[in-house]
Amino acid sequence: MSAEATNPEARPEARPELRRRGRTRIDLRRLGRAALLGPAPRDRLPDAIGHVAEAHRAHHPDADLSVLHRAYLLAESSHRGQMRKSGEPYITHPLAVTLILAELGAETTTLTASLLHDTVEDTEVTLDQVRAEFGEEVGFIVDGVTKVEKIDYGAAAEPETFRKMLVATGNDVRVMSIKLADRLHNMRTLGVMRPEKQARIAKVTRDVLIPLAERLGVQALKTELEDLVFAILHPEEYERTRALIAAQAGSDPLPGIADSVRSVLRDAGIAAEVQVRPRHFVSVHRVSLKRGELRGSDFGRILVLVGENADCYAVLGELHTCFTPVVSEFKDFIAAPKFNLYQSLHTAVATPDGYVAEVIVRTRQMHRVAEAGVIALGNPYATGDHADGDEERADPTRPGWLARLLDWQRSAPDPDTFWSGLRAELAQDREITVFRADGGTLGLPAGATCIDAAYAQYGEAAHGCIGARVNGRLTSLGSRLSDGDTVQLLLSHDSSSGPGADWLDHARTTAARIAITGWLRQHPDGATPTTTPARAPLSVVGARGGGGNAVADLPDATVRLAGCCTPVPPDAVAGFVVRGGAVTVHRVGCEAVARMRALGRTTVAVHWRATADCRVTLVAESFGRPHLLADLTEAIARQGVEVVSATVEPPVEQRVRHTYTLLLPDAAGLPALMRAMRNVPGVYDVGRA
Ligand code: MN
Report yes or no on 60 lying in a domain.
yes
Domain membership of residue 542 (yes or no) is: no
Catalytic residue among 122, 149, 318, 452: 122
DSSP string, 98-116: HHHHHHTT--HHHHHHHHT
Instruction: Tell me the average pLDDT across 159-166.
Output: 67
Residues 149, 150, 153: CA angle, nearest 5 degrees: 75
Enumerate residues 6+ apart whose C-beta is below 8 A from 383.
none
Distance in Å, CA 182 to ligand 1 centroid:
5
**What is the spatial distance between Cα 106 and Cα 569, in angstroms, rounded to a whole number?**
47
Residues 319 and 416 placed together within one structural domain of the fold:
no
Q: Looking at residue 469, which CATH number applies to its domain?
A: 3.10.20.30
Q: Where does a domain end: 175, 202, 233? A: 233
Q: Are residues 50 and 160 in the same domain?
A: yes
Q: What is the pLDDT of residue 382?
A: 45
Same domain membership, residue 645 and residue 568 = no
Residue 617 has pLDDT above 60, yes or no: yes
Of the listed 121, 133, 182, 452, which one is catalytic? Answer: 121
Residue 166 lies in a domain: yes
One domain, residues 285 and 218? no
Which of 96-105, 349-358, 543-552, 592-601 is the least confident region? 543-552
Q: Are strands 345-350 and 615-623 parallel, antiparallel or unpaired?
A: unpaired
End-to-end Cα spacing for the chain: 66
Q: Which domain holds residue 85?
A: 15-233
Contact 419, 427 (CB under 8 A): no
CA 341 to centroid of ligand 1, rounded, Å: 27
**Does residue 56 share a domain with residue 201?**
yes
Of residues 665 and 452, more confidently modeled: 452
Average pLDDT (305-320) is 91
* Residue 610 pLDDT level (bands cut at 50, 70, 90): low
Indicate if 454 and 311 belong to the same structural domain. Answer: no
Q: Please, what is the average pLDDT of the chain?
A: 78
Least confident piece of the model among 157-161, 371-375, 522-526, 533-537: 533-537
Q: Between 173 and 50, where is the model more confident? A: 50
Q: How far apart are CA 510 and CA 477, in angstroms?
A: 17
Is 126 part of a structural domain of the chain? yes
Do both 55 and 39 map to the same domain?
Answer: yes
Same domain, yes or no: 56 and 204: yes
Count CB atoms within 10 A of the CB of residue 363: 20
CA atoms in the 13 A half-sphere facing the CB of 485? 28
Residue 241 lies in a domain: no
- Per-residue pLDDT, averaged over 214-227, amounts to 89
CA of 176 to the centre of ligand 1 (A): 12
Q: What is the pLDDT of residues 414-461, one digit of tens each?
A: 766 776 676 666 666 667 888 888 777 788 888 899 999 999 888 888
At 143, which helix (H) or strand (E)? helix 136-150
CA distance 290 to 443: 34
The DSSP secondary-structure symbol of 444 reads: E
CA of residue 75 to ligand 1 center, whole Å: 12
Please write the tens of the pLDDT for every residue from 479-491. Answer: 899 888 889 888 7
- Using a 10 angstrom Cβ sphere, with 0-12 exposed, 13-18 middle and 19 or more buried, the burial of residue 110 is buried
Q: What pLDDT, on a 0 to 100 scale, did the predictor assign at position 268? A: 92
Catalytic site includes residue 121: yes
Contacts of 151 (CB under 8 A, 6+ apart): 2, 6, 161, 164, 165, 168
Q: Are 423 and 479 members of one domain?
A: yes
Cβ contacts of 16 within 8 Å, gap of 6 or more: none
Ligand 1 center from residue 8 Cα (angstroms): 14
Distance CA 386, CA 391 (A): 7
Beta-strand runs (E) in 149-211:
none
Cα torsion angle, 383, 388, 392, 398, sign: negative
Whether 557 and 474 map to the same domain: the answer is no
Cα(72)–Cα(45) distance, rounded to whole angstroms?
A: 9
Domain assignment of residue 5, yes or no: no
Mean local confidence (pLDDT), 497-522: 85
Q: Rounded to two decimals, what is the model's pTM?
A: 0.59
Q: Return the pLDDT at 633.
A: 80
SS3 (DSSP) at 247: helix
* 449 alpha carbon, distance to own chain's centre: 18
Shared domain check, 38 and 108: yes
Last residue of a domain, one of 355, 373, 391: 373
pLDDT of residue 340: 60
Residues 65, 205, single domain; the answer is: yes
Q: Given 537, 559, 582, which residue is the final one in a domain? A: 537
Q: What are phi and psi of 305, to 5 degrees?
A: -105, 130
Report yes or no on 7 lying in a domain.
no
DSSP string covering 630-645: HHHHHHHHHTT-EEEE
CATH (domain of 340): 3.30.460.10
Q: How many structural domains are present in the chain?
A: 5
What amino acid occupies position 198? Answer: Q
Most confident option among 9-18, 513-522, 552-561, 660-669: 513-522
416 is catalytic: no
pLDDT of residue 146: 85
CATH number, residue 62: 1.10.3210.10
Query: For residue 71, is it within any domain?
Result: yes
